[in-house]
């Protein structure tokens, strides 16, 4: 009986403490995805990214577009969270959509053999995609 009371007290204290930090939760996810995607885009500089041209046979325009999309979507996802109202919400959702589209294409072109395997679920790519879907659905709300 006393253990349950102690556990309840500890649970209440933890709830009080962490409820004051709840505003940070979406920001941790937003910053993680935004920074990761920006780094993915920056890693393809200078433009046009030769690795995309050579590995996938992309045109210089398409390879540059992919790199700029990754960089821009990551940055605008973060910026969208700082802007209140419908503009910030729309910026978040458009950025998340761009990230989701890039990730779907990455799965289809670079990681076809990963579908529904342990390799897929132990890679960062699936989590980038899932977090993008989170912000696409949720927006800034």
Residues 130 and 100: beta-carbon distance below 8 Å = no
**Is residue 110 over pLDDT 80?**
no
In a domain, 18, yes or no: no
Overall number of domains in the chain? 1
In a domain, 6, yes or no: no
Query: Confidence class of residue 121 from pLDDT cuts 50, 70 and 90?
Result: confident
Diameter of the chain measured on Cα atoms: 70
Instruction: Return the pLDDT at 140.
Output: 94
Helices (H), the chain: 2-19, 24-42, 50-56, 60-82, 85-110, 118-121, 124-138
Which tokens sit at 58?
């992309």
In a domain, 8, yes or no: no
In a domain, 5, yes or no: no
CA 30, chain centre distance (Å): 7
Query: Confidence class of residue 129 from pLDDT cuts 50, 70 and 90?
Result: very high
Query: Confidence class of residue 97 from pLDDT cuts 50, 70 and 90?
Result: very high
In a domain, 2, yes or no: no
Instruction: Return the pLDDT at 32.
Output: 96
State mean pLDDT over 67-91.
97
Instruction: Return the pLDDT at 3.
Output: 81
The lowest-confidence range among 20-34, 100-114, 121-135 is 100-114
Residue 84 is given by DSSP the state -
At 23-43, the pLDDT tens digits run 899 999 999 999 999 999 999
Cα separation, 53 vs 123, in Å, equals 24
**Is residue 120 over pLDDT 80?**
no
Instruction: Return the pLDDT at 117.
Output: 72
Domain span at residue 56 reads 25-138
Output the DSSP codes for 42-65. Answer: HTTPSSS-HHHHHHH---HHHHHH
Average pLDDT, the chain: 92
Nearest to 95, CA basis, from 107, 105, 103: 103
Instruction: Return the pLDDT at 126.
Output: 87
């Amino acid at each position: 009986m006393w253990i349950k009371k102690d556990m309840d007290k500890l649970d209440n204290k933890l709830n009080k403490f962490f409820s004051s930090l709840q505003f940070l939760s979406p920001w941790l996810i937003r910053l993680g995805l935004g920074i990761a995607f920006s780094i993915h885009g920056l890693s393809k500089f200078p433009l046009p990214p030769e690795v995309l041209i050579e590995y996938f046979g992309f045109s210089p325009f398409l390879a540059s577009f992919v790199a700029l999309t990754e960089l821009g979507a990551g940055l605008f996802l973060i910026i969208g969270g700082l802007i209140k109202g419908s503009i910030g919400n729309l910026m978040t959702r458009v950025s998340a959509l761009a990230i989701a589209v890039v990730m779907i294409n990455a799965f289809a072109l670079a990681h076809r053999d990963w579908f529904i395997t342990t390799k897929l679920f132990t890679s960062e790519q699936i989590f980038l995609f899932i977090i993008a879907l989170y912000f696409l659905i949720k927006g800034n709300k």
